[in-house]
Chains A and B, each alone.
Chain A
Amino acid sequence: MGQEHSNVAYQVMWNRLISVVEEQAQALVRTAFSTSVREAGDLSAGVYDTHGQMLAQAVTGTPGHVNAMADAVAHFIRRIGRQNIFEGDIYITNDPWEGTGHLHDITMVTPSFHNGLLVGFFACTAHIVDIGGRGFGADAASVYEEGLYIPIMKFAAGGDVDQTLVQIIRGNVRAPDQLIGDIYALATCNEIGHRRLIDMMREFGLDDLDGIAGFILENSRRATLERIAALPPGEACGEMTVDGFDTPITLRVRLTIEKDRILSDFSGTSGVDKKGINCPLVYTKAYACYGLKCAVAPEIPNNAASLAPFEVSAEANSIVHALHPAPVALRHIVGHFVPDAVYNALDKLLPGVVPAEGAGCLCNFQVSLRPRTDAPAPVDAVRSEVLTFNSGGSGARPEHDGLNATAFPSGVMTMPIEATEHAGPVIIWRKELRPDSGGAGRQRGGLGQYMEVGARDGHEFDFQAMFDRVDHPARGRRGGAPGAPTTIAQDNGTSMRGKGKQFVAHGRKVVLAFPGGAGYGDPAGRDKALVKRDLARGYISARVAASEYGLSDDDIAAVQRTLRLGEDI
């Protein structure tokens, strides 16, 4: 029936592949053990051609994984060797530089065979809660302290799982059953992808994926290049300074828009840090691509061709291009700030598109609880590790306020506090919006949030902090005001640091205020109706309504009257 009908068939097949990888990701969520995967969606799943080019990726997942995993399969093909790839094989790694940036991400790749021939690969990645070493946190001085390293190797050869490897893994981690469970979940998810792919190939009578791969990559390349060609060519610099561990970190980026590519050059960025907040280039690249794709070509699906025109470079041994053996466990902190740095440059070339700076990195913390040691503990006191994911406010957009307590650029979810309190003897006393934390502006920054964390009676704990923006709040754009900074202290006033493991005695609570996003545009230009709405909802106080937005006393009094009637504005 000629080219036109095969075009229709290819359209159907492309849709199908996206559905296949989505099924792959869902299978992972349903069977995973780590809270980071099953509650927060810190994972990725994709299908590749025989050359290791990514053809489709599940929309479920977070950008750092999504884009980093795109490069991973080529490393697997190179390391394993084409001549050693057989049906029934499953490959594994947690190499930060050839996987997705830290030892806590396990990447697994499964070759897909059809009628005895290799037709492609499935890969998936998940963030697991423990990989041994010092535990998840910034305190290590090198990657060797951060946990067990699994080079690219066969987890299963011809269907047989390598029991030696399983024993080594079991012997090196804190929760071996869960990690092995997660590894099996990853293998299961590739297997489900493979089965669906073969169903599709049978249905369409395909012997290989060359035709559909060509169709997907050609259409994606053309669409991405059309978008880039439509941008004004030019060059601009952006920079941003954040807290770091002990010394501030400056991210610098020179952005060059050419006719057929966008180059992000991070020369001039701070060098590697002593502590585990360094970022391998693959992860930097993932977030730089993500930020640019959102702004330039949001609806084009991720694959090798749609990512290729976004090129990233950096100086070796800078914090965005950390080399082995730099510690990298919390590489997400720097990685999550990359889009804001890139936007500071892009805004100069493409005004009116990108948001103001936001909270940036997730506001995560891990609580290690144990029976109190200062006095006899009750018999039912237990040891427990509890990890939570939380978000500050996102930056205001040119036409919209920032999002309150919503992750950007990360794509993960928080977990219900009722579920968290079932995970261990932790008590979350407070988790709610933080008024006045969104930077003032014509568009207001998103609000951060308050949290208060304690333990059930009879417990004390170590608090592993992973926060930034204590000293460097999000900066506004075009006259918008900065967002509120992070604050952290104990309820008796004892101060605490934004990063690192800190002891909290029996009976004490950690009081946290997560940062707000910055504002966009002059606050004086904000629609008065929105100022009144924000006041009525308590997003801003009467003081801020008057001082930042110039709302009159009469207006404030009027809002407060409607408030007593429970009316919205």
Chain B
Amino acid sequence: MTSSSIRLGVDIGGTFTDVVLETDGNAFSTKVLTTYSAPEIAIIDGMHQVCAKAGVHPSDIGQIIHGTTLATNALIERRGAKTALITTQGFRDVIEMRTESRFEQYDLNLNLPEPLLPRQRRYTVAERVDARGDVLIAIDRAQVEKVVEQIAGAGFESVAIGLIHSYLNDAHERLVAEVVAEKMPGAMISLSAEVSPQMREYERFNTVVANAYIKPLMKSYLGRLEGRLRDEGITCRIFLMHSGGGIMSLENAAEFPVRLVESGPAGGAVFAAHIAARYGLNKVLSFDMGGTTAKICLIKNQTPKTSRVFEVARTYRFKKGSGMPISIPVIDMVEIGAGGGSLAHVDALRQIRVGPESAGSEPGPACYGRGGDKPAVTDADLVLCRLDPDNFAGGSIPLHPARSKAALAAVVGDVLDMDATTAAFGLAEVVDENMANAARVHAVENGEDLSEYTMIAFGGAAPLHAGRLCEKLGVDRLLVPPGAGVGSAIGFLRAPISFEANRSVYMKLSDFDGDKIKSLLVELQSEAVGFVRSCDATADILSQFKVYMRYTGQGWEIPVVLGENDARAPDATRFERLFEENYTRLFGRTVQGLDVEITVWSVNATTPAEKAAAVATAKTAGAAPVAAQRQMFDPAKSDYLDTCVVRRDAMETGANIAGPAAITEDETTIIVPSSRTAIRQPDGCIDVIRKG
């Protein structure tokens, strides 16, 4: 890819900016506090720290890959630009009317999230394209000019254009864009047919509006970042991680900033996929648990599962439907409000509930002793002796078990007549069950049986809970990789350059048109390859073809992967067979006698994934040195058991320890339940497997 092998990964998160520098197999990492007002400051600071550790100069860096939560935050906090939408007459309120339903049916005081743009920022023009892409009402340039003059007069910085059925015929959107460019030379323009060329107007319009809304902000940030890095002597190219799990150029990111949403978690999934490749694992469940949320993703054949739509900025307890849909290629994961800081309470049904409210870092869980008086997941972990109060975060934050017990007793124990231990057990079980349920539902939606999966856990709180989660999900093997605390930033360095192009074009298999399919896929392929080529002039580029199919009359499509030959010489019988195979796998049986249709076509162009050096699984080579013994609660046994404490850095390759055990390091602790045993692998991963 580049002449220099020194690469820098940077992940801006909500609290910390993680920076990882890799040189010929050595990695140096640091965490610095995110500098909200000028995020590039933390990056420069972190970069100098890791360069110093590695003994290199910034000018030696051969590639920088960056992911950031800034785009997501701008949407959540509504800090975007003054943006106008131009849409089809008669459809001004699509982004406000949503699905016309209530995402929480029993709350009489429910309020729906406000659209990104209030009604007066949504303008209409007379025009109409039908469901076949034919023009019903031709657009009138003079009328468009009048509307654009109004928009120009109001001083908008950014303009989104979203017209009905534009994913089939974008001529009208292009004409509007031309007029805007002419009349408003300084304004930024986003077209729905470019940002998200997919059927379903609410999702498409919302996506183009989101893109337009954050474009000025992200463009300016990326410009400043590039300038600062050049000032520091950086000469290499800068890439951005996108939500689909690949990387894109800084220029493309500035044009399509909505694709940066959730780039951090996508990096985490890529990180897990890389570990999966090292171990040759084809079915992996990645589990990332931090302070406020947990993310769960299915990784099959070392590739994270992707989706075409997801929801950002959920406003109501992470409830499905309470956010806004963004339809772009994205790594498909579930995110729930379950982290170390998630707080517990007892509801009217005398049920323990955990999250999504979080203690954050201030005041933090009760055990931090900073005034928090509600019990958090971390408090339960402490009372159950999963954490050592004197060695949390390398001893930098002393923990107070008495405060945890008091909070657990006050909020949970007294109400339910439980002692602090039982309350802690209840809290931990509820949060673990919440995560397990999210994983189960996600697996079912994808037709997967988790008992065949291996879990890869990272993020500060994950190693404490992953063992129990495996017990609940019937997962036999768990890997905890080294560097789990900066997993996303490491993941950035493993990501290929990729771009997915897709288009909604309906075709029934009874009207199968091989020539049309061929030319459509060629067109999508050249679009996708073009993006990747602009990032790398020489690399091999692989194309993956995928269509979404369903029985005519169904509403949900299933993805069907095509081979190169299917794209070059499409054959109706083979398409049908591929569909039926996939359908049977998901839902058990096919339905006889119905026509099948294709709704969405997609081509993903990507550079080859970085080769993962296969790990030769270690043979057991003696017991790990035990640093201490303590009593720790084991949920499966529902009791405190004698537990060995082992330092992770004291475990040599092959060293093993039977559960119950706690393997400690500065950032986190791996809990090995009584049902499991742990062994250190040659690459530093701790491999936790079911006994016997």
Q: Which residues of A contact B (CB under 8 A)?
A: 1, 4-5, 7-8, 11-12, 14-16, 19, 22-23, 26-27, 29-33, 35, 38-39, 41, 59, 63, 175, 177-178, 180-181, 184, 188, 191-192, 196, 203, 219-220, 222-223, 226-227, 293-295, 297-301, 353-355, 389-391, 397, 399-400, 403-408, 411-414, 416-419, 421-422, 427, 429-433, 449, 452, 456, 536-539, 563-568
Contact = CB atoms under 8 A, between A and B. Distances in A.
Interface stretch (B363-371, B567-575, B584-592): B584-592
B106 A564 contact: no
Contacts of A7: 416, 418, 426
A388 to B, nearest CB: 11
A566 B350 contact: no
Interface stretch (B148-156, B226-234, B620-628, B647-655): B148-156
A417 B109 contact: no
B90 A431 contact: yes
A181 B553 contact: yes
B18 interface: no
Instruction: Report whether over half of chain B's contact residues are helix, strand or loop; otherwise say mixed.
Output: loop
B556 A181 contact: no
**Closest 3 CB pairs between A and B?**
A38-B555, A430-B90, A566-B154
A106 to B, nearest CB: 16
Contact of A8 (B105, B422, B556, B586): B422
Interface residues of B, number: 81
A247 B542 CA distance: 68
Interface in B416-435: 416-419, 422, 425-426, 429-430, 433-434
A430 B150 CA distance: 23
Contacts of B426: 7-8, 11
B156 A566 contact: yes
A35 B555 contact: yes
A403 B164 CA distance: 25
Nearest to B588: A188
Contacts of B112: 403, 406
Interface in B50-95: 82, 84, 89-94
A416 B109 contact: no
Contacts of B441: 19, 22-23, 26
Contacts of B422: 4-5, 8
Interface in B178-224: 199-203
A205 B534 CA distance: 59
Given A32-B555, A537-B118, A177 B593 contact: yes
Contacts, number: 231
29 contacts: A7-B426, A11-B352, A11-B429, A19-B440, A29-B556, A32-B555, A38-B554, A177-B553, A181-B594, A223-B348, A223-B349, A297-B348, A299-B106, A299-B347, A300-B348, A301-B349, A397-B108, A399-B109, A400-B109, A407-B100, A407-B101, A411-B102, A414-B99, A419-B555, A433-B96, A433-B119, A537-B119, A563-B120, A566-B155
Interface in B126-171: 128, 130-131, 136, 150-151, 153-156, 164-165
Contacts of A227: 348
B120 A405 contact: no
Interface in B322-356: 347-352
Nearest to A534: B119
A191 B429 CA distance: 27
A389 B156 CA distance: 35
Contacts of A35: 555
A178 B552 CA distance: 9
B106 A293 contact: yes
Nearest to A429: B90
Contacts of B556: 29-31, 38
A27 B445 CA distance: 7
B351 A31 contact: no
B553 A33 contact: yes
Given A8-B422, A177-B591, A564-B154, 16 more contacts: A5-B425, A30-B587, A31-B556, A39-B555, A63-B105, A192-B444, A294-B108, A300-B348, A300-B349, A397-B109, A413-B100, A414-B100, A419-B199, A449-B97, A566-B82, A568-B120
